[in-house]
Amino acid sequence: MKSFRTLFRSAAAMLLLCAASLAACDDSDGDPKFGDSITLEITVDEVTDSSIQATVTPSRTDAGYYAKLYSQHEIADKNDNTLLAMCMSDRLFTSYLHLGKQTLTFENLRPGIAYVLVAFGYEDEQSTGVTSKLVRETIALPTKQ
């Protein structure tokens, strides 16, 4: 009986996680429910064969947002709707939340690989949490010399 309860709780938690990650999607027309209360700008500051430094600037200085670096092949076939659901279901989602203008540094990357910095406005107080359109910035690392 105890293992059934554990299994049931795990299934219920997974169901809630899936529901929360899909809450930002509008099922009626298949388009994501991206907010429009802020905009985000990504500026690539520096690229080496193993690191990227980029600045994310929200249109409001007090705006929160999600920003994470993915390898291009990891998200190449994902539209904004699918990518948003993938980001929001990441168990480490909150560790990628930032506030205001931030310079982000990504190190120990593989030379010669293309990466994509994904960002979207996010605040818990909003009905879906998403406060901007999803922004992607593709950054190709040079091969090691």
pLDDT at 41: 98
In a domain, 105, yes or no: yes
Number of domains in the chain: 1
The domain in which residue 21 lies consists of: 2-140
- Answer yes or no: is 125 within a domain: yes
Domain-embedded: residue 82: yes
Asked if residue 145 belongs to a domain, the reply is no
**Does residue 12 belong to any structural domain of this protein?**
yes
The rounded distance, in Å, linking the Cα atoms of 36 and 96 is 20
Residues of the chain scoring pLDDT < 70: 1-33, 125-128, 145
pLDDT for res 128:
61
Q: Where are the beta strands (DSSP E) in the chain?
A: 40-47, 52-58, 64-71, 97-99, 102-106, 114-121, 135-140
Residue type, 42: I
Per the confidence metrics, is the pTM higher than 0.75? Answer: yes
Residues in the chain: 145
pLDDT at residue 140, as a whole number: 97
Whether residue 52 is contained in a domain is answered as yes
Distance CA 29, CA 100 (A): 32
Determine the pLDDT at residue 21.
45
In a domain, 56, yes or no: yes
Confirm whether 39 is domain-assigned: yes
Give me the CATH number covering residue 50.
Answer: 2.60.40.10
